[in-house]
Amino acid sequence: MKTKIAIIGAGPSGLLLGQLLHKAGIDNVVIERRSAKYVLGRIRAGILEYGFVDLMREAGVHTRMDAEGLRHDGFEIAIGEDRTRIDLHGLTAGKSVLVYGQTEVTRDLMEARIGAGLPTHYECEVIELRGLNTGKPTVVFRSDHEDCVLECDYIAGCDGFHGVSRRSIPGDTLREHEKVYPFGWLGLLSDTRPASDELIYNKSDRGFALCSMRSESRSRHYLQVPLSEKVEDWSDDRFWDELKARVPADVASTLETGPSLEKSIAPLRSFVAEPLQYGRLFLAGDAGHIVPPTGAKGLNLAASDISTLFTLLVSIYEQGRTDLIERYSETCLRRIWKAERFSWWMTTMLHHLDGTDIDRKLIDAELDYYLNSEAGLTTIAENYVGLPFDRLE
């Protein structure tokens, strides 16, 4: 089996890259260890930066996103009863974000790939990458208990945090930077009216809560919980009661509750692997970095990686250039670290953290400054809508 680009992982990173390459006429194969149904069943991100939206349009998979996505020109930060709106549109000369679930992004990309008749090997696990420093690397994957070999020119490691790609970079080359937060997010998905027209990030004495949505009739809410918590200990009623206790009274008084469609606890970490490339292997998306979801950056960082990798591969195949290859990692990392910073900042500012009294006073003072100054609000807004994608040259 041969192709130009072997893509490991059929999450948003792998599928978006595959679609962009297909439109550019660059042959590619996607290998995914789970079933398509399983991949679609994972409930994750909900906010798309304008850069992600533009990339979906470039990939030609924007019709449903444009029809069903909800443009949001702002969001709120509530400190107890004190609500501040971050006017994204006004503070960023007209930029906004789009509420459109990662599940829908993945569905659109899957359908486009099926429609184009492109090869996607589901329920096939990549077990080894070979020849990364040769001109003909190979991907070994298991299919129906048989080992199969895919020859290619380049490998896109889009296989997420627990994938095989990052582990294929030698230990004396790879540097991993990690910060694990001492709490998780308990998320609940329900067919209930959203708590408000826009997202509300709530800082309360009982802990952080986020009121988000997937549509005007489907909500996604989160509660900060200790890492020791088990999802089975959280009945729907307990979740709703705790959410009401963490949001402003007027939000709680009109909050529509209902049965959960999904409930899960996700740990929070900041993680960056360097470099994001090794020989003919390029890491993109969660394979190379993880952010705490407080800044809504996880999925969106995957988009900027994919944009850079796609631009690089086009320069190789359409212009015969190889001089840009060694710039991939440094180009991606510049934007990644700035998104890591913003995600860490939002997490540190808004969550209930252990620490001394003065630690909490200093954080409260910083948040008070940011929420009451044009410069502070602008900083939050331009990071939230997404910083510009960095260019390879």
Catalytic center residues: 72, 201, 293, 297, 384
Residue 168 interacts with, from ligand FAS, ligand PHB, none (CB under 5-8 Å by kind): none
Q: What are the residues binding ligand FAS (CB under 6 A)? A: 8-14, 31-34, 39, 44-46, 102, 125-126, 158-160, 163-164, 266, 285-286, 293, 296-300, 302
Look at strands 146-151 and 138-143 and give their pairing: antiparallel
Interacting span for ligand PHB (CB under 6 A) from 44-52, 168-176, 223-231, 328-336:
44-52
Shortest separation between residue 154's beta carbon and ligand PHB, angstroms: 32
Question: Alpha-carbon distance 223 to 373, whole Å?
Answer: 28
Cis bond upstream, residue 275 (ω within 30): yes
Nearest Cα residue to 104 out of 46, 54, 160:
46
Q: In what order do the strands lie in the sheet with 97-99?
A: 47-48, 97-99, 70-72
Interacting span for ligand PHB (CB under 6 A) from 58-66, 262-270, 288-296, 328-336:
288-296
Which residue among 8, 30, 45, 59 contacts ligand PHB (CB under 6 A)?
A: 45
Question: Alpha-carbon distance 78 to 4, whole Å?
Answer: 50
In the complex with ligand FAS, which residue's Cβ is closer, 135 or 170?
170
Count CA atoms closer than 13 A to 20's CA, side-chain side: 26
Which residue among 6, 31, 39, 47 contacts ligand PHB (CB under 6 A)?
A: 47
Contact between 293 and ligand PHB per CB under 6 A: yes
In the complex with ligand FAS, which residue's Cβ is closer, 79 or 164?
164
Look at strands 5-8 and 154-157 and give their pairing: parallel
* Amino acid at the residue 167: R
Report CA torsion sign: 343, 40, 305, 379.
negative
In the complex with ligand FAS, which residue's Cβ is closer, 145 or 237?
145
In the complex with ligand PHB, which residue's Cβ is closer, 125 or 236?
236
Contact between 69 and ligand PHB per CB under 6 A: no
Shortest separation between residue 110's beta carbon and ligand FAS, angstroms: 11
User: H or E segment at 140?
Assistant: strand 138-143
Shortest separation between residue 202's beta carbon and ligand PHB, angstroms: 12
Residue 294 interacts with, from ligand PHB, ligand FAS, none (CB under 5-8 Å by kind): ligand PHB
What are the residues facing 180 on neighbouring strands? Answer: 269
Size of the site for ligand PHB (CB under 6 A): 10
In the complex with ligand FAS, which residue's Cβ is closer, 38 or 369?
38
**Tokens matching residue 91:** 């503070």
Shortest separation between residue 267's beta carbon and ligand PHB, angstroms: 14
Site residues for ligand PHB, window 177-236 (CB under 6 A)? Answer: 199, 210, 212, 220
Look at strands 125-130 and 120-121 and give their pairing: unpaired
In the complex with ligand FAS, which residue's Cβ is closer, 34 or 62?
34
Shortest separation between residue 296's beta carbon and ligand PHB, angstroms: 3
Nearest Cα residue to 350 out of 242, 210, 212, 218:
210
Question: Alpha-carbon distance 169 to 280, whole Å?
Answer: 11
Question: Alpha-carbon distance 238 to 45, whole Å?
Answer: 24
Residue 298 interacts with, from ligand FAS, ligand PHB, none (CB under 5-8 Å by kind): ligand FAS
Asked whether the beta carbons of 338 and 291 are under 8 A apart, the reply is no
In the complex with ligand PHB, which residue's Cβ is closer, 310 or 342?
342
Report CA torsion sign: 236, 267, 208, 86.
negative
Phi, psi dihedrals of residue 150, rounded to the nearest 5°: -110, 115
Which residue among 224, 294, 308, 331 contacts ligand PHB (CB under 6 A)?
A: 294
Q: Which residues bind ligand PHB (CB under 6 A)?
A: 45-47, 199, 210, 212, 220, 293-294, 296
